[in-house]
Structure 1
Amino acid sequence: MARGDDDFIAFAQASSSRLQRAAYLLTGDQHQAEEAAQATLVRVYAAWGRVSRKDPYAYARTVLTNLLTDQWRRPMREYATETMPEQQTAQDVADVVSKRRWLIGVLQALSPRERAVVVLRHFFDASEAEVARELDLSVGTVKSLNSRALAKLRITAGHVPPLRNGTEAGVAL
């Protein structure tokens, strides 16, 4: 193994699931999210010597966001397959699916830039300055996009759909 590979492997194991969840929030598609997270890790590995001494996770967030933004600019291509994707065998799959569909539906009401700001600010807990740097925007633009997006979410969201037992719950990703 090359020098630094062990560090990258540890980084990839620690951050891949969070990158994939963030990509899912940004895309609304599980397969596209998996591909984006993998492509992000490939690009981070290519730059590992340069970014490992700084903040590799911040670099990975930037790469993920830029990668997905580039995909939104290009026309989407979908390739049909003959096999169905694997199904989950969890107890309350219907509840999980309805919560995720609700969340993705709500997030799709936002523009790609607004969605990127909301996910970076509230899923990654990045500061306004970090989001501005990663998206190459001014801090004021990040603030206004975040404010506008949250207002849209309040209007669009309505209420969280209840679980089967009648209680309301947050969305777990």
Structure 2
Amino acid sequence: MTFEEFVDARLQALLRYAVMLTGDPHTAQDLVQETMIRVQLKWRRVAASNAPERYVKRMITNAYVDLHRGSWLRRVVLGGFAPPAREVEPDHAEHAVERDQMWIWLGRLPRRQRAALVLRYYEGLTDNEIAEVLDCAVGTVRSSISRALATLRVEVVPALSGGDER
């Protein structure tokens, strides 16, 4: 498979994955674009791996986790956190509010915890696969997911029961 064939076949899926990680379609596009430049430069190594898509997802995940370590020029924020732009049907306003609130809750999680949740519940990966993508131990994956879910429970349960919303 050539780099061009890989991009044609998997770019949209990689972009959806990045949107789930970042919560912002523009940041996701930048993340995928920068990663794909690196992938093209290392294509022989990526193509030689057993699972090129998993290799690229690992690169995207690492770039996402390392976003805050970049140059101060790349950290200029022009607006607040916004959920990905999607068409919201007027009859489904309540669903849109719930979805937006979930984006806010996910946005409060540390990057590694959010990445672990996205890999588990959006990508459907096992603990071993997540550990491979995040380059950490399986126990670290389990504790990251556990901590993230515990944090979300603290946020979500009071909100759903009509308690204090944060």
TM-score scaled to structure 1, two decimals?
A: 0.72
Question: Which residue does the alignment assign to 1:21?
Answer: 16
> What is the CA–CA distance in structure 1 between the aligned matches of 2:11 and 2:59, rounded to whole Å?
13
- Specify the SS of the correspondent of 2:136: coil
Distance 1:8 1:149 in 2: 35
Aligned-pair CA distance for 1:48 = 1.3
Match of 1:164 in 2: none
Partner of residue 53, structure 2 = 57
Whether the aligned pair in 1 keeps the contact of 2:88 and 2:96 (CA below 8 Å) is no
1:130, CA displacement in angstroms? 2.0
* Match of residue 89, structure 2, among 89, 92, 102: 92
**Structure 2: 5+ residue runs without aligned partners?**
80-84, 161-166
**Structure 1 position 103, deviation (Å):** 2.7
Aligned equivalent of 1:119: 118
Between the aligned residues of both structures, percent identity stands at: 34
Name the SS for the 1:52 alignment partner.
helix
2:107 is the alignment partner of 1:73: no
How many residues are paired up? 149
Structure with greater helix share of residues? 2
Query: How far off its partner does 1:97 sit?
Result: 5.3
Instruction: Assess, with a 3 A threshold, how the Cα gap between structure 1 residues 51 and 150 changes in structure 2: closer, same or farther.
Output: same
Unaligned stretches of 5+ residues in structure 1: 81-86, 162-173
Q: Distance in 2 between matches of 1:30 and 1:126?
A: 22
Whichever residue aligns with residue 120 of structure 1, its letter is L
> Do the aligned partners of 1:20 and 1:34 also contact (CA within 8 Å) in 2?
yes
Query: Once superposed, what is the RMSD of the aligned Cα atoms?
Result: 2.8
Aligned AA for 2:64?
A: L
Segments of 4+ moved more than 4 angstroms:
93-97, 158-161
TM-score norm. by structure 2 comes to: 0.74
1: CA distance, partners of 2:133 / 2:102: 24
Contact 2:46 2:56 in 1 (8 A): no
What letter matches 1:15 in structure 2? R
Q: Structure 1 CA distance, aligned partners of 2:29 and 2:77? A: 15
Does the CA contact (< 8 Å) of 1:44 and 1:59 recur in 2?
no
